[in-house]
Structure 1
């Protein structure tokens, strides 16, 4: 078994060139994007990515170095505004691999919409295990971590404020793989050094992430035969509570509209949830409450199923959180029937912390059965794109329960 472990420590040599060009040409007009390979000097040796998604996949990271690309009416992000493609590696631990970079990038993709408050996002396999905003960075990270303590193990963390000592102490109390912040207060790096395999990245542009909102980036997807699909990266159109659309619909000549108006606090959670949802793999449904994720369902094939998965995860994760708070022991290690019964009793009474939460869906509900999953847990409101032929069913369901629902008018699929 010791020989097998070596493959996770090795750094692959790669044959990728130091520079790369991508040219676009139409009607004699030619635009070329220039890239150079990113590398870091560690222990006197300069290397690029350790490996790709798996140890036997060589990989390389490139950063853009030339001017904007203009395609039609769209102008892409200017180079030089580097984030994960040119992170400053302050502590290397194990050399960074492809997943480390893409997970930090996924966190930043969510964080850029949460710039107005201290925020933390924990990513596992390109999806958040927890995301939260708070009164300060410690509060935000605590909420994000407690949303799913188990999945946070080995995660990639990004925060949008300089890391302070108190938050750093909290972080090193558990195992995380990668940490990115705009800066680090005095004494923080000494705390982080206790985790020798932790990769610590300073990305100064995190401090101005709001300037990346609305900027277009080309998304390249490779097909099995070497073909490419290009699209512009998704951008949520709803960036303030006032932009939500009323949940209304017509069906067979009859008009339907949700009659309960959301409170200001609910609108804030609706916006937070929708902006986090934009960074989650579809099909997805999530539940958020008080500026933090409660249950996250991702990558499912049906909307009812993913609503149920997010609900079930909320119960399991809340039970684990209670077990830790009450007995300083993960729920699956309690080994005490009375303690287990107490935790489960409280979890059921509090409905896995789902009561009063906001249910967020990245696409419309084809029927009301997906909405009903949340209503049975006494959720406080719903955000969804709208546009289903049978939106009236979801509207009726919300009116029966007396809760608000808003439409975004925009689907946020992410594959």
Structure 2
């Protein structure tokens, strides 16, 4: 077993060249491989997605692509790819691909959330908890953590404001692998450095992410046959609540129009749609008061996304109750309940209260990265007490979906985004 553990601490030999050039028509982009000197070793990425996959990180250093009259992000605008030893306030060890891609996806989301202090916790390149609030990053991080404390274990924390001592203390009370922020208060940095293996990244560009929100990058997907698909990166069309479209449909001469969301509902929908930009499709997100209450992702059918999100919400709600009241995770409590009558009664009580509270979902809003092809997913959301829904629209059954929210009591709001947000 000890030999197996070595795979996670062994640096892969990096066979990749120092430079990479990409030619598109008559335009050339030049990339330079990123390396860091850590503990006397000058290396690039520790390894790729898995320990037996050599990998390299390249930064765009020359060129600025223009396609179809649209300028892409160019040289000198790097964030994660531009990290140097100076930005690694504590490296612990050379980073692996997943450490950096989690941070990168957080920045992908945070570019749309500059209006308020926000905190994200990412795991396996998906947010497991996200929150924004006018009360500061410490409150935002605590709320993001409590949204899914199970998945947060070993994740990456990224915030969009200077990280203060209260936030650092919360980070150190849990096991995280990476933390990234635009800057750190001196006492916060000293606190974080108590965890010797924590990777601490200072990325000043986080403070200016909004400037990138309308500029695409060249998104490249490599195929298993060695081919490539290139595309414009996703550009969020909903940057303010007024960008949402009225949910309207016509069928057999009848017009179906949904209720417009209220101010808080619209604000939560805006936040949820921003987070959605970094979630693997198919997905639906539940959000309440600027915090994700459930994230269902990676399902092949839309109603399955809703079912997954709801199931996860109930589990996370039970876990939060068990942790706060008994100091045990819900799974530790279930194990204890097998032989301990008192624990069995405590578990039953937590399960009862969770069912009564519907996993904390009532009052949430929902966004879906694709349209609802049938009303079944919407009906499931309504059953959990949601008050507003945003979805792309464009289904031949939009009238049925709008009818579903109009038939709800109280009536549920719905708006269209006019764009899909798939992320494969």
If the TM-score is normalised by the length of the shorter chain, which range does it land in? Answer: over 0.9
Q: Secondary structure at the match of 1:282?
A: coil
Match of 1:289 in 2: 288
Aligned residues: 410
Deviations 1:261-315 (A, max 9, x none): 3110111001111111111110101101110101101111000111100011011
Rounded Cα–Cα distance in structure 2 between residues aligned with 1:153 and 1:119: 19
Please state how far the C-alpha of 1:94 moved relative to its aligned partner: 3.0
1:45 aligns to 2:41 (yes or no): yes
Given that residues 40 and 89 in structure 1 are in contact (C-alpha distance below 8 angstroms), is that contact kept between their aligned partners in structure 2?
A: no
Counterparts of 2:19 and 2:367, CA distance in 1:
42
Question: Relative to structure 2, which stretch is displaced further, 364-373 or 333-342?
Answer: 333-342
The equivalent of 1:414 in structure 2 is 423
The corresponding residue for 2:339 is: none
2:255 is the counterpart of 1:237: no
Distance 1:95 1:320 in 2: 34
Match of 1:181 in 2: 181
Q: Is 2:402 the counterpart of 1:403?
A: no
Cα distance, 1:196 vs structure 2 = 1.7
- The alignment partner of 2:62 has SS state of coil
Aligned 1:160-179 pairs, distance under 5 A? 160-179=160-179
Contact 2:38 2:93 in 1 (8 A): no
* Residue in 1 that maps onto 2:340: none
1:32, 1:390 → 2: CA distance? 46
The match for 2:361 among 351, 354, 365 is 354
1:375-386 pair list within 5 angstroms = 375-386=382-393
**Greater mean alpha carbon deviation, residues 187-196 or residues 115-124:** 187-196
Give distance in 2, aligned partners of 1:229 and 1:262: 38
The answer for the alignment partner of 1:54 in structure 2 is 50
Match of 2:121 in 1: 122
Between the aligned partners of 1:262 and 1:187, the Cα distance in structure 2 is: 42
The 5 Å alignment of 1:176-325 reads 176-258=176-258, 260-325=259-324
Q: Distance in 1 between matches of 2:257 and 2:111?
A: 33
Q: TM-score normalised to the size of structure 2?
A: 0.95
CA apart distance, 1:188: 2.0
1:190, distance to aligned residue in structure 2 (A): 2.1
Q: TM-score of the superposition, structure 1-length normalised?
A: 0.97
Shift of 1:252: 2.2
Q: Is the 8 A contact 2:172 2:192 kept in 1?
A: yes
Q: Report deviation, 1:72.
A: 1.9
Tell me whether 1:68 sits opposite 2:34 in the alignment: no
Contact kept, 8 Å, 2:213 with 2:236, in 1: the verdict is no
Q: Partner residue of 2:352?
A: 345
Counterpart contact for 1:94–1:198, Cα < 8 Å: no
Residue 251 of structure 1 and its aligned partner are, at CA, apart by 1.4
- How far is 1:253 from its partner? 2.2
The CA deviation at 1:44 is: 1.7
Equivalent-residue separation in structure 1 for 2:128 and 2:172 (angstroms): 18
Partner Cα separation in structure 1 for residue 355 and residue 406 of structure 2: 25
Secondary structure of the residue aligned to 1:389 is coil
- Structure 1 residue 119 displacement after superposition: 0.4
Point out where structure 1 has 5 or more consecutive residues left out of the alignment: none
In the alignment, the residues of structure 1 paired with residue 24 and residue 401 of structure 2 have an alpha-carbon distance, to the nearest angstrom, of 45
Residue 79 of structure 1 corresponds to which residue in structure 2? 75
* Alpha-carbon shift at residue 195 of structure 1 (Å): 1.7
Q: Is the 8 A contact 1:381 1:403 kept in 2?
A: yes
Deviations 1:63-114 (A, max 9, x none): 0111311122110112212211122211112320011111110111001111
Q: Partners in 2 of 1:240 and 1:16 — Cα distance?
A: 43
In the TM superposition, what is the alpha-carbon distance from 1:342 to its structure 2 partner?
2.1
3-state SS of 1:65 partner: strand
Give distance in 2, aligned partners of 1:179 and 1:312: 29
Question: CA separation in 2, counterparts of 1:89 and 1:205?
Answer: 14
Alignment gaps of 5+ in structure 2: 337-342
Moved more, 319-328 or 231-240: 319-328
Q: Does the CA contact (< 8 Å) of 1:127 and 1:280 recur in 2?
A: yes
